[in-house]
Structure 1
């Protein structure tokens, strides 16, 4: 009995097709695996200050995700979120596989320590002065291949600051970062440098730390002429009615300013909008020292 040659040929062809299809399927699976595990070319930003810088140098298209507190410019609302500033979602960050992660080294120190243990590439920025902010802008520009844009931004900021007209007489300034406990900023901090550039004299020039607890008695004894409050849900009357504060010049002369008068982001955020803060503070300080310019 002879075998049917056509059936043999069909069997061989069928077998070959199955092998080819299996090979293609394996290649497809491997390829998908590589794509799924490929690192993104984009960056995750965890702090509002850094986010503002990134947008200002024109690198928004390279941002993969941000934290909830990153709220400026308004268009940043459309960017995916990876949790909060103080508690970012590490699992989500790992899943997104960013090229770099950017944030601040002071308040997010523990967060970055944990991410580095997971071998994530992190860059921390903590400007303690306006000059160190300029350096941070240049560094961020290099990470995004926006060196020219960052140079232009720094140049513009320097020009803007140099054009601000500050009072000859330096008013004594108390800036309140928080009230429970009372906290302020020393002159060695970014906020302290803002006060100085605006023409004010920080009543807490030297402190053990840049941001430090102080007492009401210390504030009263140093008698500030201007009081700046940088957090919400407190009124001028709340400040004026504090025990013993009625003796303070700033209270007597109604030189208390809250978030209703000046956006605290212009003062406490180490970002490009600090120039607005310096300009507004300079004007407030001028108002506080009217008639005393000759004493400068």
Structure 2
């Protein structure tokens, strides 16, 4: 007859073996699940997030921006504004990602291919950080997500310290449109959010709109001390448009920003219409422009 002590020892050994086998199986299943993920990013901002989280991609957008090394030979699926549903479907994706601001661009062709894209909210820095956290949890990249957000948090702390208790400068944010002039970016836009965090006062605010188109008279009345010109699409053309506009329209020369030469051009990859993983660097730049004399 087996002693109770020997029986207990056998039970403990069996439990340990079962636990080890179960752990190995669980890790195998997790690795298998990771390997089976077939993710498609249709915008460069999503590509940046995937790169920071070290996620595999089977499809990336067609863009002039430099693609991260890990995605150098990945299939191009077309312009972010009009990606190819047929090409994406051929990749047999497990998930397709875009951003909320382009939601209206995904129409019938995607429904016909039975593709349901996920739209990431990247309208502000906090939205970006929340998205990074959520994707980190979903794809078991919590450590990478934490590291990415720490970098942004450090930039926020530094910008707030630089602003201190100084009087907030009045800031006008313009978004250039190739061949179609420009629009005003409000406090609800991404660059407007950078201005807010950096301690600036956006001269145009809105309850819900990201971009508006006020008159020249309305702009004149704001007396901006700093002007930020976002040139995220076709920057060479948009920069020329801005320069021509600022020379031909006399009211620009009367603004404090132009008189004091505090007009700055914002271009990709550091700046865009939506938040991206260059947010820390972008915030640092805006902070220096708003408070050039502070450390």
**2: CA distance between counterparts of 1:92 and 1:80?**
9
Deviation at 1:222, TM superposition (A): 0.5
Whole-angstrom distance in 2 between the partners of 1:199 and 1:95? 47
| Structure 2 residue 57 is matched with structure 1 residue 63 | yes
Residue matched to 2:246 = 240
The worse-fitting range, judged by mean Cα deviation, of 136-145 and 248-257 is: 136-145
Contact 2:65 2:269 in 1 (8 A): no
RMSD across aligned positions (CA): 2.5
1:166-201 residue CA offsets vs partner (Å, 9 max, x unmatched):
332211111111253431221123221111112211
Q: How many residues align?
A: 247
Structure 2: segments with no counterpart, 5+ residues: 1-34
The Cα of 1:263 is off from its aligned counterpart by: 4.7
Q: Deviations over 1:120-157 (max 9, x none)?
A: 24211122321111111122223433133213322332
> Which SS does the other structure have where 1:166 is aligned?
helix
Distance 1:263 1:122, change over 3 A: closer
For residues 17-65 of structure 1, the C-alpha deviation after alignment (integer angstroms, 9 at most, x for no partner) is xxxxxxxxxxxxxxxxxxxxxx963111001111101101111xx1001
1:36 corresponds in structure 2 to none
Task: Please state if 1:175 is matched with 2:169.
Answer: no
2:155·2:283 contact (CA, 8 Å) conserved in 1? Answer: no
Q: Are residues 211 and 138 of structure 1, via their aligned partners in 2, closer, same or farther at CA, if it must alter by over 3 Å?
A: same
- In structure 2, relative to structure 1, the CA distance for the partners of 1:108 and 1:251 (3 Å cut) is same
| Rg larger for | 1
SS in 1 for 2:227: strand
Residues 263/118 of structure 1: CA separation in 2 closer, same or farther (3 Å cut): closer
Q: Residues of 2 paired with 1:243 and 1:217: CA distance?
A: 12
Match of 2:226 in 1: 226
With normalisation by structure 1, the TM-score equals 0.75
Runs of 4+ in 1 over 6 A off after TM superposition: none
Deviations 1:101-128 (A, max 9, x none): 0111212433167524543242111223
For the 8 Å contact 2:230–2:271, the answer to whether it is kept is no
Using structure 2 for the length normalisation, give the TM-score.
0.75
CA separation of 1:113/1:160 partners in 2, compared to 1, >3 Å: closer, same or farther?
farther
The residue correspondences of 1:197-208 to structure 2 (distance < 5 A) are 197-206=197-206
Q: Give yes or no for contact 2:188–2:208 (8 Å, CA) kept in 1.
A: no
- Contact preservation (8 Å) 1:51, 1:70: no
